[in-house]
Amino acid sequence: MKALAAALIVVAAGAAAAALPDSRLVEEGRRVYNFRCYYCHGYSGDARTVAAAMLPVRPRAFVEFSAEEMPPLRIEMAVRHGLPGSPMKSFAGALSAREIAAVVAFVHDEFVVRRASNTRYHTPENGWPDHERYSAAFPFARGSIPLDAPEGSLGARERAGRRLFVTTCITCHDGAAVRDAGPAWERAASR
């Protein structure tokens, strides 16, 4: 009986290990995703980007799907062949087979399974040396300071951070908070 229990534990451990994605492949996929996919699908797989808002069909927000609804094969087929009737086109000519496998592993593991925030996109390897120099804009990118906060409530650094955010960062980071989505947003965005 003990031998049978031990054997079942070994089999279960082997199955669990087989289900874990190759961490090197996932990290390769992160690099592909951060270079090719985030414009439409968002850095954190939530499809909250300016580009996504302008498309006639919303890109997939991977974090909204369960692992059963969005298995790796479904992701691979979309990357490899595109999705008819949507802005998603085939990447078979732009990505190698290894890059496709890597981005599929990353999207499935990072967003679908773990629902994790992709926090390693602004790295020197991804073309963002010294990203901290933009830190004045971070509170606006994260939504902790509303874009339509009254001018008088902001310090000089915060005003500069808002200017930087609305002139540069908002292109990809449109998850900013506003207190009033009406005309105040238009005033704040024009600064």
Over residues 119-158, the pLDDT tens digits come to 666 777 666 788 888 899 989 888 899 988 999 999 999 9
The first and second tokens of residue 18, run together, are 């087989």
Report the distance separating Cα 168 and Cα 63, nearest Å. 26
Computed over its alpha carbons, how large is the radius of gyration of the chain? 21
Domain 20-113 class, CATH top level:
mainly alpha
Outline which parts of the chain fall under CATH 1.10.760.10.
20-113
Q: What is the pTM of this model?
A: 0.63
Distance CA 101, CA 76 (A): 7
More confident of the two residues 39 and 15? 39
DSSP 168: T
* Contacts of 66-71 spanning 24+ positions with Cβ under 8 A: 66/112, 67/108, 67/112, 67/113, 70/108, 70/112, 71/108
Average pLDDT rounded to a whole number, residues 12-41: 77
pLDDT digits (tens, 9 = 90+) for 34-75: 888 988 998 889 888 878 888 899 999 999 999 999 999 999
Q: Provide the total of helices (H) and of strands (E) in the chain, helices listed first.
A: 9, 0
Tell me the pLDDT band of 175, cut-offs 50, 70 and 90: low
Provide CB contacts within 8 A for 10, sequence distance 6+: none
